Structure 1
Amino acid sequence: MMQRFFIFCSGADTDILQTCSNGERNKYVGIGATVFFTAVMAFIASGYALYTVFDNIYTSIFFGLIWGLLIFNLDRYIVSTIKKRDSFKSELTQAVPRIILAIIIAVVISKPLEMKIFEKEIDQVLLEEKNAMTLSNKEQLALQYTPKIESLNQEIANLKREVVQKEVETNALYDVYISEAEGTAGTGLLGKGPVYKEKREKHDAYLAELNTLKETNATKIENLESQIAALGTDYNMAVTNSQPIIDGFDGLMARINALGKLPWFPSFFIFLLFLAIETAPIIAKLLAPKGEYDYKFEEQESVVATWVTQKVEQRKLLLSTDGALNEKIYADIKNEEELYRYKKEKAEELLRLQADSFHKVQIKGL
């Protein structure tokens, strides 16, 4: 049972192999087993790759099975279409396109398994990239909010500076009217005279303006600080909302890129391993000597080709013979006087009928 299944996998003609020796059958059993296990590896690799995309085991198994069957069919086709010839050069020529296809398949199969083998190293690379992306994201978002916050802080500073300046002027007026009362400046007279009252009133006016300015600017500052707090909240919200996107940056393409940043030699070694597996049936068939199966298969092809050639030649001969007979028959009919008179009578009868019909149509029209 197992032998028949692997022979089926090899794409060989089972009827011909039944007439061959056990050694010949075992050769194709080995080729078929290689094709089968390559498809199994393709199923596992594609299933893992698709799991990283869909994150659903049933979907991954379904599409992985389809991919494995596709690889199985391609490998079976490749092996079955390579025919043994008398010249190794001709065999290699027909195998080159199939080897190229095998290389492509090996790349496709090996990549997902490489990602699984180097999963921890890839996770480390992805972690570093996510951290860098997080910092970059915060910097980019900060560029949107920082100018506004700095502008508001500058307004707050201007308002505070305005209050401080007004305080300095008010304190200066206070010193002036106190000095006037003490007689140490101004008129130099001790006591609270008219000049003192004038300077005191000016100071009180400035003091009232200062208090009003403090209240007004305090309200403005409070409003500006509320805007700054709102901008800070918006910035934190933007960072929080964008972080899940960065955290989810571990899809198939991201892992492939991360794999490319790892040392190339281990990855290349795994690729060579899969390339050897994928090309093994082709190489085995190229290196194997022409066996009993190949001779019988070539004989069967020759029989079919000869039979088809005979049929084609027979059809050509039948066509040429039929053409010659038709020419001779019609040439003989051409010389038949009786046939001529018969066709003439029929033609005259047809013309009379046409004339009578035309005449009736004309009368109806009148």
Structure 2
Amino acid sequence: MKKNEEVHYSKIQYIFWVIAGSEISALKKCPNDYNRHANIGLMIFITSLFAGLMGYIAGKTFVKDNEIGVIGFALVWAFLIFSLDRSMVNSIKKDPTITDFRILPYFVPRFILAIILSFFMSIPLDHIVFHEKIKFEMDKNNAQNWLKRQADLSVGYNIKADTLQVARLEKETEKLEDMINKGCDLCPVAEYKNLKNQINDINRKELPGLLNKKQIADKNYNSYYKIWKNRQSQADATPQDFKSDSKLTSLNTAKRKAAGDYGRKLGEISSLASQANRICNDWLEETKVSKAKKDSSLAVTQSKVRANQDSIKKQSDGYKGMIESMQGFDTQFTTLFLMPNAGVQVLKWLIFLALLVIEILPTYLKLKTPVGQYDWEMYKLEKVTEMEAKVKIKLLEDELQKIESYRSEKEIQLNKNLIDKVTDIEEALANEMLVEWEKKARVEMIKNI
């Protein structure tokens, strides 16, 4: 095909050829590959466009007030992805003379690079798609972290043990207060109990019998006294008259004895009760002292618990404010990456795979496309260039060889001339030295003669 018979191509194709990094001068001669290289350029353009969009989104995540800076970052990121994709595609050169072309040595390193690029390109898109889920998960994590922080602080300040101690002291003080209010009824002293048992035994066993004897003696005496008084009513009775009646005297003696026995037993009971009261009062005093100590210990422990709780609240509130302020890109990324939601994870990885396909597609198309006119044309140009370079190198080597030969000949001739001159000079010097020596030798010989 002559130059003036080149197949027509559109400006859009030409632009995509440039994007694809194709050799335009060679591609113009290969009309069968026009669309192929245009498609490769289109895929590189789409990949760069996506990269720029993702870069813009990521920039807006970090910096919300600097629009120019965000746009600049997006353009730089897009240009970086464009350069990498274009370099990956252009670095693949097919040799038409090789029938067994292996894809893996070219595909594997480019696939690994595509995974890395797709991963960074998918992150900003994920943050847009899952914005609400990320926000919800971050709030939940913040609440859990806050509660965990409170629990850790409670363990560190030993709140549980102090609280149990407060509860124990409160129960003990309540028990002591109840014992003090009920008085001697709850006195646990063994001696007091023995005295109370003695008093109860006397009241139950001895005192009723003595009281009964006293009542009987009083009754007998009073009954006989009434009879004796009626008998003596006709005459005036004197105290001496009472003594004259032996029965009345005997009843009076029995009455007094019963009253004395009963009174002595009451006195014994009173003495035992006095001892018991003394022991009970001593116990009550000791109980009040013990309660005062318990109250003091309870107040100290309660004050410690309140102070520790205030410190925990202050630290936990500060920690809560800190974790709530952590809304940056790294926190959002970690939250999304570790989110325990199967639906979110599946969709996130589908987005990654879609970007991976877009990223690797230009390289894959270049590798899977069979050898065409463009590959043969490039092979021909490279061979021609190689042959021309070899011819030029050969000519240059011949020229250099001639120059080197000429230089060598000239140096040899020059060296010969120099050697000849040096020989003549040395010969002349030797003759002069011999003449001079001869003169000196003659003079010396004459002196000796």
1:39 aligns with 2:48: yes
The alpha-carbon distance between structure 1 residues 216 and 270, as it changes in their structure 2 partners (threshold 3 A), is: closer
2:422 maps to 340
Query: Relative to 1, partners in 2 of residues 1:260 and 1:34: Cα closer, same or farther, differing over 3 Å?
Result: farther
- Tell me the TM-score normalized by structure 2: 0.61
Judging changes above 3 Å, is the alpha-carbon distance between structure 1 residues 76 and 344 closer, same or farther for their aligned structure 2 residues?
Answer: farther
Q: Which amino acid aligns with 1:67?
A: W
Q: Residue 388 of structure 2 corresponds to which residue in structure 1? A: 307
| Aligned partner letter, 1:278 | E
Higher Cα Rg, which structure: 2
Deviations 1:60-99 (A, max 9, x none): 5543432222111101112222234324643736642334
Cα RMSD for the two superposed structures: 4.4
Q: Is the 8 A contact 2:44 2:86 kept in 1?
A: yes
Aligned residues: 345
Q: Which amino acid aligns with 1:37?
A: I
Aligned residue in 2 for 1:255: 336
Give, as a single letter, the amino acid of the residue that structure 2 aligns with 1:251.
Q
Measure, in 2, the Cα distance between the counterparts of 1:207 and 1:198. 14
Aligned counterpart, 1:13: 23
Aligned AA (1:44):
L
Aligned twin of 1:237: 314
| Mapped partners of 1:60, 1:152: distance in 2 | 60
In 1, the alpha carbon distance for the partners of 2:266 and 2:377 equals 140
1:279-358 to structure 2, matched below 5 A, reads 279-288=360-369, 290-336=371-417, 337-341=419-423
Instruction: Report deviation, 1:127.
Output: 5.2
Q: Which residue of 2 aligns with 1:81?
A: 91
CA distance in 1, matches of 2:21, 2:340: 36
Task: Kindly provide the CA deviation profile for residues 136-182 of structure 1, in whole angstroms up to 9, marking residues without a partner as x.
Answer: 444333322335424642672586278359748855389968x969x
Cα distance in 2 between the residues matched to 1:95 and 1:151: 71
Q: 1:106 aligns with which of 118, 122, 125?
A: 118
Q: CA deviation at 1:13?
A: 2.9
- Deviations along 1:6-63, one digit per CA (max 9) or x if unpaired, are 333211234445x4477754543332222112112122234434555x3646465543
Contact 1:156 1:224 in 2 (8 A): no
Q: Select 2:73's aligned residue among 63, 66, 69.
A: 63
Stretches of structure 2 lacking an aligned partner (at least 5 in a row): 1-10, 207-263, 431-449
The 5 Å alignment of 1:196-211 reads 196-211=273-288
Q: Which amino acid aligns with 1:313?
A: K
CA–CA distance in structure 2, aligned partners of residues 57 and 14 of structure 1: 43
The equivalent of 1:72 in structure 2 is 82
**Residues 127 and 332 in structure 2, CA contact (< 8 A), matched pair in contact too:** no
Aligned partners of 1:11 and 1:80 also within 8 Å: yes
> Which among 134, 149, 153 is matched to residue 166 of structure 2?
153
Q: Which residue pairs with 1:116 in the alignment?
A: 128
Task: Assess if the C-alpha contact under 8 Å between 1:149 and 1:228 holds in 2.
Answer: yes
Quick one: higher RCO (CA 8 Å, sep 6+), 1 or 2?
A: 2
Q: Within the alignment, does 1:90 sit opposite 2:101 as a pair?
A: yes
Query: Partners in 1 of 2:88 and 2:74 — Cα distance?
Result: 21
For the structure 1 residues 265 and 166, does the alpha-carbon distance in structure 2 shift closer, same or farther, using more than 3 Å as the test? closer
For 1:170 and 1:301, the matched residues in 2 are separated by 119
Q: Secondary structure in 2 aligned to 1:90?
A: coil
Distance 1:271 1:170, change over 3 A: same
* 30, 38, 44: which one aligns with 2:39: 30
Compared CA separation, residues 189 and 61, structure 1 to 2 (3 A): farther
Within 1, Cα distance between the matches of 2:341 and 2:401? Answer: 69
Cα separation, 2, equivalents of 1:199 and 1:103: 94
Moved more, 314-323 or 155-164: 155-164
- Residue type of the alignment partner of 2:316: V
8 Å contact 1:83–1:91 — kept in the other structure? no
1: CA distance, partners of 2:273 / 2:317? 64
Report SS of the residue matched to 1:258.
coil
Asked if 2 retains the 8 angstrom alpha-carbon contact of 1:163 and 1:210, the reply is yes
Q: Give 1:233 shift.
A: 1.9
- 1:261 deviates by 5.1
SS of residue in 1 equivalent to 2:266: coil
The alpha-carbon deviation at position 221 of structure 1 amounts to 1.8
Partner of 1:361: none
* SS of alignment partner, residue 82 of structure 1: coil
Task: Decide whether the 8 Å contact of 1:6 with 1:33 is kept in 2.
Answer: yes
Equivalent pairs: percent with the same residue? 20
Q: Name the CA shift for 1:209/1:55 in 2 (closer, same or farther; >3 Å).
A: farther
Choose 24-33 or 231-240, whichever is displaced more.
24-33
Partner of 1:220: 297
